[in-house]
């Protein structure tokens, strides 16, 4: 057998694979999840609304209405689904829209549910149309019609289901068809977290990891986490790694800053891809506007990656704008990169607005 290189071995000599690393990362994330609504930090409005739905169902000794959770990735939709099952004292079944390819796949899942179970469907907007139709019939009437055979000899067999609760999660609620969306009795939208909530989350996670973290370091991690708990916990683990390998084993401000510099996360939470997009937009295209495909090619990424991974945060931070003619950098983008815009640069604003560059030259980008 070929000898393993040092890069393939862990500290104990065991081989480390990409699958093992991914599993370890998911396991670490799962260990930090809150177990109840009382432990869940942030999202005050959704938390209070959801608590009312669950407590009413518990007092009636019945099933909760179907629940739809929407919002960007990493804000706690899966965690809330687990909390729903825990608060109801029910079993949780997890699946996702892309995993259910055919109506028969969904029928098999539904037929295995027991009374009161919670079925969590992640990325529910990605269900196939026949699957959607079967699901909203099951959600309303707790039955499905299973077609056996093909052609003239095909027969439809009605299958009665025990009452259950569907918790759907989506990052794009607008893609859900109205008949499916209307079957949900409660819809909660999760927003990005405030820095103080993320600081509380990071502090709690550090305690669970048995990692000593001071308040300033927790705040620094929170401000660089893009308003997302998943990212905050991930950065916390990287700070812990740096403190263990290069520091004293505890997380102070120096350890946090040094670790985040190693992983190329700047003071506003921008990572390598974010800065590459901004720099290409400013230095190669004069601040834009430039088309998405051209911008993606310039940074060596797929257009979908730029549009779905980097762009939402950059737009939210006011660093780029999406215009009818393409993506354009704002004055703040040039400032963040430490660059000086070309003389007479006209910066984009809201449609119909007038922009003025630092030298006082104005212009109109939109008609």
Question: In angstroms, rounded to a whole number, what is the distance separating the alpha carbons of residues 176 and 173?
Answer: 6
Q: What share of the chain is helix, strand, coil (3-state, %, to 5)?
A: 45, 15, 40
Choice among 33, 47, 117, 122 that is catalytic: 122
Choice among 47, 230, 240, 275 that is catalytic: 230
Question: In angstroms, rounded to a whole number, what is the distance separating the alpha carbons of residues 250 and 76?
Answer: 27
Give 11's DSSP letter: T
Reply yes or no on whether 150 is catalytic. Answer: no
Joined together, the tokens standing for residue 119 give 């079925």
Reply yes or no on whether 171 is catalytic. Answer: yes
CA distances from 133 to 4, 94, 138, 361 (A): 52, 19, 9, 56
Q: Which residues contact 255 (CB under 8 A, 6 or more apart)?
A: 217, 239, 242, 243, 246, 247, 248
Choice among 170, 171, 203, 228 that is catalytic: 171
168 near 212, Cβ under 8 Å? no
Reply yes or no on whether 77 is catalytic. Answer: yes
Q: Which residues contact 178 (CB under 8 A, 6 or more apart)?
A: none
Question: In angstroms, rounded to a whole number, what is the distance separating the alpha carbons of residues 315 and 362?
Answer: 22
**Minimal CA–CA distance to 67: which of 131, 139, 128?**
139
Choice among 33, 77, 226, 240 that is catalytic: 77
By annotation, the residues acting in catalysis are 77-78, 122, 171, 230
């Amino acid at each position: 057998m070929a000898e393993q290189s040092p890069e393939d071995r862990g500290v104990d000599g065991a081989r480390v694979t990409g699958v093992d690393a991914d599993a370890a990362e998911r396991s670490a994330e799962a260990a930090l999840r809150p177990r109840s609504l009382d432990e869940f930090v942030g999202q005050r409005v959704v938390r209070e609304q959801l608590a009312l739905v669950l407590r009413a169902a518990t007092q009636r000794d019945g099933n909760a209405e179907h629940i739809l959770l929407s919002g960007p990735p990493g804000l706690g939709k899966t965690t809330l689904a687990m909390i729903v099952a825990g608060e109801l004292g029910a079993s949780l079944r997890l699946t996702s829209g892309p995993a259910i390819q055919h109506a028969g796949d969904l029928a098999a899942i539904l037929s295995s549910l027991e009374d009161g179970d919670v079925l969590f469907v992640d990325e529910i907007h990605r269900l196939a149309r026949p699957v959607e139709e079967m699901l909203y019939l099951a959600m309303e009437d707790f039955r499905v019609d299973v077609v056996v055979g093909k052609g003239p000899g095909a027969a439809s067999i009605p299958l009665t289901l025990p009452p259950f609760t569907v918790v759907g999660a989506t990052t794009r609620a607008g893609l859900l068809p109205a008949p499916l969306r209307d079957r949900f009795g409660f819809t909660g939208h999760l927003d990005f977290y405030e820095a103080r909530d993320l600081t509380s989350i990071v502090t709690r996670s550090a305690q669970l990891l048995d990692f000593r973290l001071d308040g300033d370091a927790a705040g620094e991690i929170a401000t660089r986490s893009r308003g997302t708990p998943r990212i905050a916990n991930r950065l916390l683990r990287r700070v812990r790694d740096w403190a263990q390998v290069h520091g004293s084993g505890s997380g102070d401000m120096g350890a946090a800053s040094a670790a985040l510099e190693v992983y190329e996360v700047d003071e506003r939470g921008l990572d390598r891809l974010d800065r590459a997009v901004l720099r290409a937009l400013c230095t190669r295209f004069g601040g834009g506007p430039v088309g998405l495909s051209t911008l993606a090619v310039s940074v060596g990424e797929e257009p979908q990656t730029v549009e779905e991974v980097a762009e939402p945060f950059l737009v939210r931070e006011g660093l780029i704008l999406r215009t009818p003619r393409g993506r354009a950098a704002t004055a703040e983008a040039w400032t963040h990169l430490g660059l000086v815009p070309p003389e007479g640069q006209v910066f984009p604003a809201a449609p119909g607005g007038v922009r003025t560059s630092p030298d006082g030259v104005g212009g109109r980008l939109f008609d």
